[in-house]
Amino acid sequence: MNNYQYIKVWTDNEIGNIELHRPKVLNAINQSMVAEILTALCEFDYSEQVKVIVLFGAGKSFAAGADIKEMMGENAVSMELKNQFADWDRIALIKKPVIAAVHGFVLGGGFELALCADMIFAAANSKFGFPEVKLGVMPSAGGCVKLTKLIGKRKALEFLWSGNHLEAEEAKHWGMVNRVVPNELLMQETIHFAEKLKKQPALALRLIKDTVRRAENVTENEAMQYERKNFSLLFASEDQQEGMQAFMEKRSPHFQGK
């Protein structure tokens, strides 16, 4: 494993854990942290010891956004030359299931990072928001785009223009998070769900994720063709044979991930 400065990373019982670890600044996300998160995600994605990845924050919050101190030294040219969003784009290509378990402030780049995950479990004390407008800027790692797709143009504009915070239950109402859980049960509930996912056939999970992501970005017809190809592809897997055989024999399947 790498030596990380801004995150903590470990594997426990086939679950890859990534903890954002700058609690003194509410896990403000600097560029090195994004690079570290990406490295850890890629290592877990390739690791045979990991089936599901869980992303969460140390201390009082998941993340209060991009590191404003770092960002204020930037200019348009330095940002263009750094091509920093390439790391964010690569995060979207992780194939294993990624669950974000969030609590406290989930703001700006922190919210965008959570939205990069496949599912979001939120502690009841979570506060979501895109406060960039109050800094004279706007979201830049997909916030405007993903929010518009999630909740529609009008509500997205209200939210992005005001920079207001949203409570966890309201975020759930708008489909921004999968479920809201009591604060003290956040990790327990998230790991419990990850444990269930672990038992599912890994290739089917991958191709379902691949298809759902495709469905967000192409026409319905293209997505349907893609879905069928992925469906057929699964008939090349041993897990498909095991799943159907187990059904016929009235026993639980034992999936091997191949």
Of residues 96, 1, 81, 85, the one with CA closest to residue 40: 1
| Rounded distance between C-alpha atoms, residue 38 and residue 50, angstroms | 15
Does residue 147 belong to the site contacting ligand CAA (CB under 6 A)?
A: no
- Reply yes or no on whether 220 is catalytic: no
Instruction: Decide if residue 109 touches ligand CAA (CB under 6 A).
Output: yes
CA distance 89 to 85: 6
Question: Minimum CB separation from ligand CAA for residue 34, in Å?
Answer: 9
Number of amino acids touching ligand CAA (CB under 6 A): 21
Which residues in the 46-105 window bind ligand CAA by CB under 6 A?
A: 64-69, 105
Contact call for residue 40 and ligand CAA (CB under 6 A): no
Q: Examine residue 142 and tell whether it contacts ligand CAA (CB under 6 A).
A: no
**How far apart are alpha carbons 107 and 192 in whole angstroms?**
26
- Choice from 33, 132, 160, 191 touching ligand CAA (CB under 6 A): 132
Backbone angle region of 39, left / alpha / beta, with phi > 0 → left and psi within -120 to 50 → alpha: alpha
Q: Choose, from 40, 63, 64, 66, the residue flagged as catalytic.
A: 66
Tell me the CA distances in angstroms from 161 to 126, 149, 169, 173, one per residue in order: 20, 16, 21, 20
Is 108 a residue that touches ligand CAA (CB under 6 A)?
Answer: yes
Range in contact with ligand CAA (rule: CB under 6 A) among 2-10, 134-142, 152-160, 171-179? 134-142
Using the structure block, give the residue that is written with the tokens 């965008």: 112
